[in-house]
Structure 1
Amino acid sequence: MGAIRRLEPTDLPAAVRICNAEIARGGSTWGPVELTADQLGARLSGGPRPLESWVYEDTPGELAGWGALTSHTQRDIYDTIAEVALFVDEPKRRHGIGRELAQHALGRARALELRALVVLVQPTPAFLIAWCVRQGFRNVGWLKGVVPVGAEWRDTLVFQRTLT
Structure 2
Amino acid sequence: MATIRAATPADLPAILDIHNEAIENTTAIWDETPVELADRVRWYERLVTSGHPVLVAETGGQVAGYASYGPFRPRSSYRHTVEDSVYVHRDHRRRGIARELLVSLLGEACDAPDVHVVLALIESGNTVSIELHEDLGFEQVGHLAEVGRKFDRWLDLTILRCAVG
Relative to the length of structure 1, the TM-score reads 0.89
What amino acid sits opposite 1:95 in the alignment?
R
8 Å CA contact 1:6, 1:54 repeated in 2: yes
How far apart are the structure 2 equivalents of 1:37 and 1:137?
32
Letter in 1 for 2:104: H
Gap runs ≥5 in structure 2: none
Would you say the 8 A contact 2:28–2:126 is kept in 1?
Answer: no
1:29-108 pair list within 5 angstroms = 29-46=29-46, 49-60=50-61, 62-108=62-108
The more displaced of 134-143 and 63-72 is 134-143
Structure 1 unaligned residues grouped into runs of 5+: none
> Match of 1:138?
139
Which amino acid is 2:94 matched to? R
- One-letter amino acid matched to 2:146: G
Shift of 1:131: 1.6
Aligned to 2:159: 158
Structure 2 CA distance for aligned equivalents of residues 30 and 37 of structure 1: 18
- Which deviates more from structure 2 when the two are superposed, residues 22-31 or residues 104-113? 22-31
Counting matched residue pairs gives 163
What is the identity, as a one-letter code, of the residue corresponding to 1:87? Y
C-alpha distance 42-145 of structure 1, shift in aligned 2 (>3 A): farther
Letter in 2 for 1:12: L
- The Cα offsets for residues 92-143 of structure 1, whole Å up to 9 and x where unpaired, read as 1122111110110111001112101011111113222222211211111122
Query: Residue 22 of structure 1 aligns to which amino acid in structure 2?
Result: A
Q: Is the 8 A contact 1:44 1:52 kept in 2?
A: no
Which whole-Å CA distance do the structure 1 matches of 2:32 and 2:146 have between them?
13
Would you say 1:19 and 2:19 are equivalent positions? yes
Range moving further from structure 2, 118-127 or 20-29: 20-29
Partner deviation per Cα, 1:6-29 (whole Å, 9 max, x = no partner): 111121111111111112223223
The alpha carbon displacement at 1:73 in A equals 1.0
